[in-house]
Structure formats: C-alpha cells, structure tokens
Amino acid sequence: MGLDQVLYDLVRPMVDEPESLEVRQLNDSSEREIVLCVYAKDDDIARLIGRRGMMASALRQVMAVASHAEGKRISIKFEKI
C-alpha cells in the first residue's frame, strides 16, 4: 500500500463527499521527499485543514511517521476542485 492510499484512507471518513475525494502523489525532483496532494470540494478542504491548520498539522504528523519507513520527508498539499 502506497502512502497516497494511506492518506486517502485517513481523510475519507472526514469528508462529506467521498466520491469527489482524490489523493495523488506528485512527481518531485527530490528523491528524499514525497509530495502528496489532496483534491476535494471546498467545504471538505476547509474541514481537512481545520481551524488554524490544526487538522492539516495532525495529518502531516501522522504521515511523517508513515514515511519514516522509507527514509523520506513528506509534504501534503490541499487543493479545491
């Protein structure tokens, strides 16, 4: 299971419209970093980021632990569709 699937499984229960949710791993020039992008509806993105970014910070911390096994840093971006 890839890190994009792990993040998808984490955020899917948090959104109102899971059918519009998508998580993609972006190609990055750095071999030491993984960039994941979460695409969702406007209200769902707001929910995933949370007040003052608290939820986004928690998701990044959890995913940082998951990416440690691969010895890479992880970045998560949130985009509205």
Per-residue model confidence as pLDDT tens digits over 7-44 = 999 999 999 999 999 999 997 667 888 999 999 999 99
- CATH top-level class of 3-80: alpha beta
Query: Three-state DSSP class for 35?
Result: strand
pLDDT above 70 as % of the chain? 98
Average pLDDT over residues 65-70: 86
- The domain locations on the chain are 3-80
Among 29, 31, 10, 12, which residue's Cα sits nearest to residue 21? Answer: 12
Instruction: Choose among 42, 28, 34: nearest CA to 2.
Output: 34
Cβ atoms within 10 Å of 10's Cβ, excluding its own: 17
Share of the chain above pLDDT 90, in %: 77
pLDDT at 54: 96
Looking at the predicted structure, is the pLDDT value of residue 60 above 80?
yes
